[in-house]
Structure 1
Amino acid sequence: MRVGAAALAVTLLLAACGDAAPSTPPPAVLVVAGRQVDFVAELSAGFVEGVRRVPGVGHRAVGPDIVDNASELRTIQDYLSGERGSITLFTFAPELFADSLGRAATAGTPVVALHSVPAAGSGVPLYIGNDNRALGGELGRTMAGRWPVDAEGLVVIGSPYPGVIVLDERVAGLREAIQRLRPGVTVIGPFDTKQAPGANKQAWRVLQEANPDALAFIGVGGADAHSLALLRDPTTTRVDGGFGTDPYALEMTAAGDMVLLSTEPYLQGLLAGAIQARCAKEGRDLPTGWLPAPGVLIDQARAPGVIDRQKNAEARQAWFAPLAEEILGDLDDRLRPLDDAR
């Protein structure tokens, strides 16, 4: 019933899109980097669900299995001419795609940028993603609340992709919140923790060995939370922080040993799929601007509910249905200028 309500909300997108419908809408296409990356799989699953709610529109997901920016760039070349409809793009390297997306815009191909802020010159009309500085600040405030007001010591921050805007914004939000609330605490980093699972875990092991008395280790990428959870042992007493819904990290959070901030990639994909499919079916322009996607703080109290929702597709659909309905039914009021995206 809740899923049906969210499906109904998609029909409200008519006001967000603009002219007459084609007889046979092209499929909604999602282009991603690294389909085997957990949160990318969540983006993809949500995208499929969003498109599915618009009858008569098919979907396709393309991109390399492992993170390979060059391979993703080659893949997107087949979708730039406008002949295959609109596309949604998630990439770890938006600057690399600026020229290609600019050509797509010139050719009339509508593009939705997903999760990563599009680079200047891309010509992308719509971006769906978090306010990453705000999410970093929320996690930072929660972490700071775990320490005494007069706490002193180190907090170590790591990032698998230093220089990527969305991750750097999370770092900025974390640093500002912690330093404002706990001025005696020194925040160091972000250190490059690498994306590959083995390299990421080793990077965090080295950081922990070098800073054995740190108040906390906080990672801003999904791989970081996984590694930080695996590196804990029965003698570890600190509370670490991370982003995402990694199963091991969720278990640690349920035990009170970690705090997580989920960027809700499933919801982001769902919103992109629903908007793209609706506009394709109606033959209308994409809405313009930045659609901020909410995240959720996961502490010990919330962890069991999130663990339950992550068990299967049906549970996720039911969980996100009311929020999807709310956002899609109020799209115009939620859109912000694309230049504000961070």
Structure 2
Amino acid sequence: MRVVSAACAVTLVLSACTGEPQPPPDPAVLIVAGRQVDFVHELTAGFEAGVRRVPGIGWGTTGPEIVDSAAQLRVFQDFVEGRYGSVTLFTFAPELFADSLERAAAAGTPVVELNSIPAPGSRVPLYVGNDNLEIGEQLGRAVAGHIPAGATGMVILGSPFPGVTVLDERATGVREAVRRLRPEVTVLGPFDTKQDPVANMEAWRTLQAANPGALAFVGVGGADAHSLALLDDPDDDRVDGGVGTAATALAATGRGAMVLVSSEPYLQGLLAGAIQARTAKDHGELPVGWLPVPGIVVDRGNVALIVARQQNPENRAAWFRDAADRILADVDDHLRPMDDAR
């Protein structure tokens, strides 16, 4: 994983090639909420791939090792005044960053927000992320498809961060889809399942012990899918639901024990990195609005393809190349108003 100083090396190479002093290219920097979070690895890999599409721009990633919004905010302060050029930010606490983001905008620092909707007053021009209500709808439809018509019982819904807008939207989508398609089923939650892997596992263990006859357990965060896959009982024919492409969850999906929706964080990071790098190189303005990234349902029908995609960076790059090329060729045509983001 490179650090911000990578831009310095790029600048030296450019100067040596031309024999003339060159203005340092604005590095493209990704600041993440916690570098140990599984899907952050996907965001980061995609971000690097996106920046590499633009020659001459350095890139770096930084942020706390574990999810710590206060520590992340302290990291962000070094970038508010534009010392390192442009920034892409992924945080679980957008409201906490609103004042600092407003100061960054006033200082002329280009900022892209990634995966979490900017809080009001942030003055962030570009947000790259899912339609999370639709992510939840996709997951709810997939889970409902494995519940017999006319069935009665409960679906237990969990979220590692209740109150975080994007996860709340996913939970709403799951609830609405299940209630529409299986009206006799009661959806309970979302219950707080915690982000920490150990705490998340224990939360789901407790929920399953308290609801042994549940028709399905459904989590809207990446940690949830991992835990539910590990807790799968091979003697139970229940099909649970989750978000993400953790190896454990993909294996459970292959066994028919889960259905997943991938929020496609690699593509999110790729788009943000490429747009940020282009803006830095051209000294231009960022596009304005919400750039939505669609999710994909993963089930037994396509899980082998997704497993192959996730095996190495080359496979992921090949999988997403056409979609990225299409969107980046005309970003404005794919933008929606920021106020529509959910």
TM range (shorter): over 0.9
Alpha-carbon deviation of 1:144? 1.1
Partner secondary structure for residue 75 of structure 1: helix
Counting aligned pairs with the same residue, the percent is: 65
Alpha-carbon deviation of 1:332? 1.1
Partner secondary structure for residue 148 of structure 1: coil
Alpha-carbon deviation of 1:234? 2.0
TM-score, normalised to structure 2, is 0.92
Alpha-carbon deviation of 1:263? 0.3
The reply on whether 1:339 has 2:339 as its aligned counterpart is yes
The reply on whether 1:91 has 2:91 as its aligned counterpart is yes
Aligned residue number for residue 155 of structure 1:
155
Aligned residue number for residue 43 of structure 2:
43
Aligned residue number for residue 219 of structure 1:
219
Separation in 1 of the partners of 2:287 and 2:333?
A: 12
Q: Which moved more, 1:183-192 or 1:136-145?
A: 136-145
- Larger RCO, structure (CA 8 Å, separation 6 or more): 1
Deviation digits for residues 80-132 of structure 1 (CA, Å, limit 9, x no counterpart)? 11232110000011111001001101111111000000101101000000000
Deviation digits for residues 310-340 of structure 1 (CA, Å, limit 9, x no counterpart)? 1111111111111111111131111000011
Partner secondary structure for residue 128 of structure 1: strand
Q: Where does structure 1 lack aligned partners over 5 or more consecutive residues? A: 1-21
Alpha-carbon deviation of 1:23? 4.4
Aligned residue number for residue 102 of structure 1:
102
Aligned residue number for residue 311 of structure 2:
311
Aligned residue number for residue 82 of structure 1:
82
Separation in 1 of the partners of 2:253 and 2:145?
A: 16
Deviation digits for residues 55-83 of structure 1 (CA, Å, limit 9, x no counterpart)? 00010111111111111100000001123
Partner secondary structure for residue 141 of structure 1: helix
Asked whether the 8 Å contact 1:101–1:122 carries over to 2, the reply is: yes
- Give the aligned length: 321
Residue 73 of structure 2 aligns with an amino acid whose one-letter code is L
Aligned residue number for residue 185 of structure 1:
185
Aligned residue number for residue 241 of structure 2:
241
Asked whether the 8 Å contact 1:158–1:218 carries over to 2, the reply is: yes
Asked whether the 8 Å contact 1:45–1:269 carries over to 2, the reply is: yes
Residue 104 of structure 1 aligns with an amino acid whose one-letter code is A
Partner secondary structure for residue 100 of structure 1: helix
TM-score, normalised to structure 1, is 0.92
Separation in 1 of the partners of 2:143 and 2:235?
A: 20
Aligned residue number for residue 205 of structure 2:
205
Partner secondary structure for residue 155 of structure 1: strand
Separation in 1 of the partners of 2:174 and 2:234?
A: 27
Q: Where does structure 2 lack aligned partners over 5 or more consecutive residues? A: 1-21
Matches within 5 A, 1:4-43: 23-43=23-43
Matches within 5 A, 1:262-301: 262-301=262-301
Asked whether the 8 Å contact 1:159–1:191 carries over to 2, the reply is: yes
Separation in 1 of the partners of 2:263 and 2:234?
A: 29
Asked whether the 8 Å contact 1:25–1:283 carries over to 2, the reply is: no
Separation in 2 of the partners of 1:87 and 1:254?
A: 38
Partner secondary structure for residue 112 of structure 1: strand
Alpha-carbon deviation of 1:53? 0.9
Separation in 2 of the partners of 1:323 and 1:196?
A: 33
Alpha-carbon deviation of 1:298? 0.2
